[in-house]
Copies of this chain bind each other. A is one copy, B any other.
Amino acid sequence: MAKPWATFGVDLHLEPSGPGVRRGLTDALREAVRGGRLAPGTRLPSSRSLAADLGIARNTVADTYADLVAEGWLTARQGSGTRVAEHAAAPRAHEHPAPRRREPGRPTHSLVPGVPDLSSFPRVEWLKAARRALAAAPHDVLGYGDPRGRIELRTALAGYLARARGVRADPGRIVVCNGFGGGLKLLAEVLHGRGLRSLSVESYGLDVHWDLVHRTGLSTVPLPHDDAGPRIDALGDADAVLLNPTHQFPLGGALPPERRAAVVEWARRTGGLILEDDYDGEFRYDRQPVGALQDLGPDHVVYLGTASKSLAPGLRLGWMVLPESLVPEVLGRGGTRSVGVLDQLTLAEFITSGAYDRHIRAARLRYRRRRDALVAALAARAPQVRVTGIAAGLHAVLRLPPGTEQAVVQAAAWQGLALTGLDYYRHPDTTTDPFEALVVGYGTPSDHTWPHTLEALCRVMP
């Protein structure tokens, strides 16, 4: 018996069991998009949460999404989930459009975290650096080259990471990778190749990362956490752990000093490996950034960095600093040599010329001002909402009164503002008590749209 299904504010009718469930879900979703009931740009629930809502297998939802992405009705974007494609709903001339219900329109503003302000990408400086780098490069840089990446970039990164993030690095242990995700995938393959079965992760994080790990054959096991962060004492005999010690995404905390020491001590004692995801370590506003955890135990920590937040995700530029002992295994996996040499040489030139530092300083000032404005506006207009997490990075966590998270996200959609609730980032297996909050990416808007976006946020606060 088909039942009405009202997740994310849309009623669909489908038969959620039997062999036709995937077909039924696909047809129902396609029809909702085609008919305009799901507006272009609308974010769909994660496959995990929709599967839970419908009581069906997660793979079925994931396959349905993939089918509709392939058909062009949906788009899947790393870091911002699955959405209705922008041009999906235009009804063909010969079709009667389905009767439209009142539904949220395409969002005009977004505070979905995960991307920096792309309008501030230093296009002119980047092109200048590209020209200088290519003019100086011998012909053989255009060949296959070192599997770790260009020596020019690894040398520039070794100096920069030591200076800016306290990382102990030498170019021989740095491997340039296709963003953070490319590095994580390689490391998960190495761990799986060693016979490991699982990777400990934090209880809130990004499902795209967990999925990358799952596809290599490892499972992810969420660490319990308390108000101070992930409980290192619960690691026990885990084999490896993925952490955001400097600025947790999405919760926004920093790992306290005693837990930083404890996790390195755990690694020394057990031989476990720490994967340190330092995605936005340059952006701290109330003090000097805390150095990378890697400095406490370079033989036990893989440091992972990226230009995705400091410059732009589209560059697909990431890097790993590996313990000496891990280098041959990572190179032996293949899958390195994953970034074009022109971008590598350009970033090397960008760093060594000082343009990267200048860009980071300007970005730090921009995001700091935005965070200050966010805190001030909420204090004045929504005093019951508490901004939590350290003054850092490109996102803030807004704790909401119980029972309001979903309503606020939906109200925002009606106002044309794309928002994400904390629940979206919760690991399905975590037993930590949930709380209600928004994860607000104040780095996402352009300078031009930021004031309107902040105003729109204040309007939907409970």
Q: Which of A321-349 contact B (CB under 8 A)?
A: 324, 327-329, 331-335, 337-343
Q: Which of A96-136 contact B (CB under 8 A)?
A: 114-115, 118-119, 121, 123, 126-127, 130-131, 134-135
Which stretch in A65-73, A220-228, A257-265 binds the other chain? Answer: A65-73
Known: A69-B331, A328-B67. A338 touches B141 (CB 8 A): no
CB distance from A349 to the nearest CB of B (A): 13
Q: Which of A141-199 contact B (CB under 8 A)?
A: 141-147, 172, 178, 181-182, 185, 189
| Bound form: Cα–Cα A115–B358 in Å | 38
Known: A331-B66, A335-B185. A115 touches B127 (CB 8 A): no
| Bound form: Cα–Cα A70–B72 in Å | 44
Which residues from B are CB-within-8-Å of A63? 328, 332
Which residues from B are CB-within-8-Å of A142? 118, 121, 312-315
Confirm or deny: A386 has a beta carbon within 8 angstroms of a beta carbon on chain B. no
Q: Is the CB of A185 within 8 A of B334?
A: yes
Confirm or deny: A212 has a beta carbon within 8 angstroms of a beta carbon on chain B. yes
Which residues from B are CB-within-8-Å of A334? 181, 185, 208, 211-212, 215
Q: Is the CB of B118 within 8 A of A327?
A: no
Confirm or deny: A317 has a beta carbon within 8 angstroms of a beta carbon on chain B. yes
Q: Which residues of A contact B (CB under 8 A)?
A: 62-63, 66-67, 69-72, 75-80, 114-115, 118-119, 121, 123, 126-127, 130-131, 134-135, 139-147, 172, 178, 181-182, 185, 189, 208, 211-212, 215, 312-317, 324, 327-329, 331-335, 337-343, 446
26 sampled A-B residue pairs with Cβ under 8 A: A63-B328, A63-B332, A66-B328, A66-B331, A75-B146, A76-B331, A77-B144, A77-B145, A80-B144, A114-B144, A115-B144, A118-B139, A118-B142, A119-B139, A121-B139, A121-B142, A127-B130, A141-B314, A143-B314, A182-B338, A314-B341, A315-B342, A316-B339, A316-B340, A317-B340, A339-B340
